Amino acid sequence: MAHLILASSSPRRKELLQQVGLEFTVHSPDIDESVLENEQIEQYVQRLAKTKAQAVLTLKPQGTVIAADTSLVFADQIIGKPESKQHAFEIWTLLSGQTHEVLTGVCVANAQQLLSTVVRTEVEFQILSPNDMEEYWETGEPIGKAGAYAIQGIAAKFVTRMNGSYSNVVGLPLHETIQLLDRLDQCS
């Protein structure tokens, strides 16, 4: 396999790839992440993953690039990172006692080929009390996290059910990513 490059500055993606023993460097491209008019969420995460991979390949054409984009979705709306404590409480009020989805577009690419997929995971939260929300906010963990939570942290105690890839919710579906890398190697 050619030199592996992670097209992301996400510490969670880095940790996940290290967890499965991959050696790589990091190069985070600066791209426009705006949602296009009438763009479906699945198309959006896949487009961003491909755009990130292509941006890095332009600079490092000898490499093999892993790129991803993850969005948390509730009622067909992307739920981003909380802008304030009030915003976090609004997000948790939406997610409380409900099921939401986490979608990740994954792209692996080299100079010859680009492969991609979208992985969906359903996550169900318990009903969150105002006290649950206050205590969780005070931990600092929700800041900078899509959906205002980190499943790999304290928020795991709020998850009553999950259907799909755990690593997807963290930020990179490992099984599918490795499968794409294996397919890319076979085709190169």
Residues carrying an active site annotation: 69
Q: Which helix (H) or strand (E) holds 63?
A: none
Rounded CA-CA distance 24/10 in Å is 14
CB 87 within 8 A of CB 108: no
Rounded Cα distance between 115 and 180, Å, is: 7
Nearest to 105 by CA among 55, 54, 71: 71
- Contact, 14 vs 28, CB < 8 A? no
Angle 85-95/130-139 helices, nearest 10 degrees?
130
What is d(CA 157, CA 136) in angstroms, rounded to the nearest whole number? 11
Q: Which of 148, 146, 140 is nearest to 171 (CA)?
A: 146
